Structure 1
Amino acid sequence: MAVNEQNTFVPGFKIQVSGVTIYYEFYEHENPDAKVVVLVHGFLSSTISFRKLLPYLTKHYVVIALDLPGFGQSEKSTTFIYRLCNYGQLIIDFLDKLTIKDAILIGHSMGGQISMHAAKKAPARIGKLILLGCCSYVKKASHPLIVCSYLPLFTWGMRSWIQKKDVKKNLAAVLHDPSLVTQELIDGYKKPISEAAFIDSLIRLLRHREGDMTSQELKEISQPVLMIWGKEDKVMPVKTGYRLKKDLPNAELIVYEKCGHLLMEEKPDEISNEIIRFIEAEME
């Protein structure tokens, strides 16, 4: 068990999945037939990104939030190949470890792309997808950049870049309303990226990460998909959402005004209502 900044207990655990130690939070439900919802965070993030959705979702479902390898409290592995498709397979392997047969995935940003990989790999296991400001159509890093990443000075430069990053300023940039940036939020995002091993994981991700799914690959995802976007998203512009909707065969898109990339912080009530509505409608 873990304790957060508010001194409340978080049901946190660690488990070995495919040779990597994964941190996850497991929120049980009194209904033995409750659906299982798995939360998959994005780049430079962790389970903290879903903190405002948890009070809503845990009322209705079994909820699991995990830190991906290289992020949060999970292992900064030097053996894991940091490809999106491998992250997707890890989600399936994680469900196997917990003996969960069916799940609904909610992915934010890069976590959305990873969730689509998992859904594509195991369509019988992942019945529904909810994508929040989903990272899409991002290409693989250029060959010269990948070559440079092997130079000793590159690691030093990356570490300096991370250390100089103003977490408060960066959080304000992904929110439409910067007043929502609290000290609790800053601390929650700053702690994991301050670890020395995090830099090595970030560089490995740069080297290994393949490009996002192509339009043809996206057309092979048949599950019902709910996409939610912030109209003022500067990280993944809303035009990406409209393009993604065209490529996914069975998707709906909801766009919120006055909302940025970290939409879970800005519109938790509205987003939760839409998520629950979407899940229940598909269950009928």
Structure 2
Amino acid sequence: MDLVLKEKHGFSYVDEGEGEVLLLLHGLMGALSNWQDVVNEFKGEYRVIIPMLPIYDLPLLTTGVKTLSKFVHKFVKKLELQDVILLGNSLGGHVGLIYTLSHQEYVKALVLTGSSGLYENAFGGSFPRRESYDFVKEKVAFTFYDPEVATKDLVDDVYATINDRNKVIRILAMAKSAIRHNMSKDVHKITVPTALIWGRDDKITPPDVAVEFNQLIPNSELHWIDKCGHAAMMERPKEFNALLRPFLEKLKK
């Protein structure tokens, strides 16, 4: 991974480039490196920041999507960020939605890709065969349209994570929190410009989810990427960036 982590004010984060802030939020099992191609594409024109969300560090009783949103607000205030353009994938999108609803004065625009918040078909409520490497490999491949994107390094990371008892109980608590926290009755209050960039073959947050978000969020636009699963910025980075760029350009006008 080319990204360099900074440690400051008790936060770990990537901070590249200068200018308007693109604040990127990773998913439940996602690494900061999932956003590598977005960072590389835009760090010459924007300040691209990726905080490490404390998914594995929260007390079990407070492990949930609302707690992560509060963490993001502390991060934004500590770094004195304003008018951020918030990008979220999967759980990161869900946290971005909650954050935007609570703090629209800090958010200039929102970009969601494979976001939870309405419906998701994730691992399920448990990892019944987490000791089986082949089972984990199959589940990681399920994330993508092209199973080859599920590299051995990626599968190894997920396998190690879900076989760490401390981590897996928090992953399950976070996943259940996300499922319980359905936002269908709230997202109509989001007024900032919103781009939905979705894999047409997403099996975790299927296309119907994107269509519903588009119908519910007033100032939203929906873009599809063919032959693409749940993490468009990883699986189809060129197409993702090509759709993101004109949305960002419109915000400058």
Bin the TM-score by the shorter chain: 0.7 to 0.9
Check the 8 A contact 1:48/1:188 in 2, yes or no: no
Pairing partner for 1:236 from 185, 194, 205: 205
1:240 and 1:129 mapped to 2: Cα distance? Answer: 16
Number of corresponding residues: 249
Note if 1:110 corresponds to 2:91.
yes
Q: Which AA in structure 2 matches 1:104? A: I
Pairing partner for 1:24 from 10, 13, 17: 13
**Distance apart, 1:204 and its partner CA:** 3.6
Which stretch shows the higher mean deviation, 116-125 or 75-84?
A: 75-84
**Distance apart, 1:167 and its partner CA:** 4.0
Which stretch shows the higher mean deviation, 185-194 or 165-174?
A: 185-194
Partner of 1:265: 234
Partner of 2:174: 205
Partner of 1:183: 152
2:115 and 2:105 mapped to 1: Cα distance? Answer: 22
Pairing partner for 2:130 from 144, 154, 162: 162
Note if 1:62 corresponds to 2:44.
no
2:112 is paired with a residue of what secondary structure? strand
1:230 and 1:200 mapped to 2: Cα distance? Answer: 29
**Distance apart, 1:85 and its partner CA:** 2.2
**Distance apart, 1:160 and its partner CA:** 6.8
Pairing partner for 1:13 from 1, 6, 20: 6
**Relative to structure 1, is the Cα distance of residues 192 and 120 closer, same or farther in structure 2, using a 3 angstrom cutoff?**
same
Q: Which AA in structure 2 matches 1:164? A: S
Partner of 1:153: none
- CA-to-aligned-CA distance 1:145-189 (integer Å, 9 cap, x gap): x9xxxxxxxxxxx67743335443223211111223333433454
Partner of 1:86: 67
1:197 and 1:15 mapped to 2: Cα distance? Answer: 25
Partner of 2:214: 245
2:89 and 2:127 mapped to 1: Cα distance? Answer: 25
2:175 and 2:145 mapped to 1: Cα distance? Answer: 28
Larger Rg, first or second structure (1 or 2): 1
Partner of 1:149: none
Partner of 2:81: 100
- Unaligned 5+ segments in structure 1 are 140-145, 147-157
**Relative to structure 1, is the Cα distance of residues 233 and 215 closer, same or farther in structure 2, using a 3 angstrom cutoff?**
same
1:63 and 1:186 mapped to 2: Cα distance? Answer: 27
* RMSD of equivalent CA atoms: 2.6
Q: Report the TM-score when normalising by structure 1.
A: 0.78
**Distance apart, 1:191 and its partner CA:** 4.7
1:103 and 1:92 mapped to 2: Cα distance? Answer: 11
Partner of 2:31: 46
Question: Percent of counterpart pairs with the same letter?
Answer: 22
Check the 8 A contact 1:230/1:255 in 2, yes or no: yes
**Relative to structure 1, is the Cα distance of residues 172 and 14 closer, same or farther in structure 2, using a 3 angstrom cutoff?**
same
- CA-to-aligned-CA distance 1:3-28 (integer Å, 9 cap, x gap): x3xxx4x3202345xxxx5432111x
2:136 and 2:45 mapped to 1: Cα distance? Answer: 33
Check the 8 A contact 1:83/1:209 in 2, yes or no: yes
Q: Which AA in structure 1 matches 2:14? A: E
- Unaligned 5+ segments in structure 2 are none
1:259 is paired with a residue of what secondary structure? coil
**Distance apart, 1:233 and its partner CA:** 0.8
1:218 and 1:22 mapped to 2: Cα distance? Answer: 29
Q: Report the TM-score when normalising by structure 2.
A: 0.87
Pairing partner for 1:217 from 181, 186, 201: 186
- CA-to-aligned-CA distance 1:182-234 (integer Å, 9 cap, x gap): 33433454454454421232244256556334333111011100001111111
- CA-to-aligned-CA distance 1:111-146 (integer Å, 9 cap, x gap): 11110111111111111000001113249xxxxxx9
